[in-house]
A and B are shown apart, each in its own frame.
Chain A
């Protein structure tokens, strides 16, 4: 069955970077993309960006351009999302989701990233 398993919770100081992983299994990794979505405490869902697991093409949300990098390693079927220059308002649960033509059909369990001094 399709599974996306994310790395564990992180606590970071303002200005630091965080890298969250998303290990995929149960499907052909390179046939789909991976989108990343975050949710601040008590808030709605925010789409962060997408990466093609086939060729590494990316598309990032405008408000995160320059601070976020998404990568995918087909040898380990793992996608990564790195966010730099962290601020307190980056505190959120970060989700990866399998993406096919805008359809986010399977989601990881989420990774809590807390940014605090």
Chain B
């Protein structure tokens, strides 16, 4: 079955840049989406179609994709950005959707 691989954790100091990666064989052909989930809350879409930012999401959130890796970048991470982040995409057939295992971002 198709898998998306993320690092379990990333830690940065406030104001630093945080990068969270997501690797998958189909990413050269399929979009990546990124979700932020704070403790006890429903996920929130922060990046769609690799690099687009929904309205209301701060400009410090950006996304990119190259080859088999998609990257979520938080420029100048804030304490309030502490959360679990999940990438999401489909396999090459488009029939099987999957989330990455999630990355816990710590900002302190």
Binding site for B on A (CB under 8 A): 35, 37, 44-47, 50, 59, 61-62, 95, 97, 102-105, 107-110
Majority-rule SS of A interface residues: strand
| Those 8 A-B pairs whose CB atoms lie nearest each other, nearest first | A45-B99, A107-B42, A44-B102, A47-B97, A103-B48, A44-B101, A105-B45, A45-B86
B43 at the interface (CB under 8 A from A): yes
Can you report 30 A-B residue pairs in the complex whose CB atoms are below 8 A from each other? Answer: A35-B97, A37-B43, A44-B100, A44-B101, A44-B102, A45-B35, A45-B37, A45-B43, A45-B99, A45-B102, A47-B97, A50-B97, A62-B1, A62-B96, A95-B42, A97-B43, A102-B31, A102-B33, A102-B90, A102-B97, A103-B45, A103-B49, A104-B35, A104-B45, A104-B88, A105-B45, A105-B48, A107-B43, A109-B42, A110-B42
**Smallest CB–CB gap between B55 and chain A, Å?**
10
Nearest residue, chain B, Cβ from A99: B97
Nearest residue, chain B, Cβ from A4: B42
CA distance A100 to B44 in the complex (A): 15
Nearest residue, chain A, Cβ from B97: A47
Binding site for A on B (CB under 8 A): 1, 31, 33, 35, 37, 42-45, 48-49, 54, 84, 86, 88-90, 95-102
CA distance A107 to B88 in the complex (A): 15
Contacts of B88 in A (CB 8 A): 45, 47, 102, 104
Contacts of B102 in A (CB 8 A): 44-45
| A47 and B99 contact, CB distance less than 8 A | yes
A108 partner, pick from B42, B84, B90, beta carbons under 8 A: B42
Contacts of B49 in A (CB 8 A): 103
- Residue of B33, B49, B88, B89 with most partner-chain A CB within 10 A: B88
Give 9 A-B pairs besides A45-B99, A61-B96 with Cβ atoms closer than 8 angstroms: A44-B101, A45-B86, A102-B97, A103-B45, A104-B33, A104-B43, A104-B45, A105-B45, A108-B42
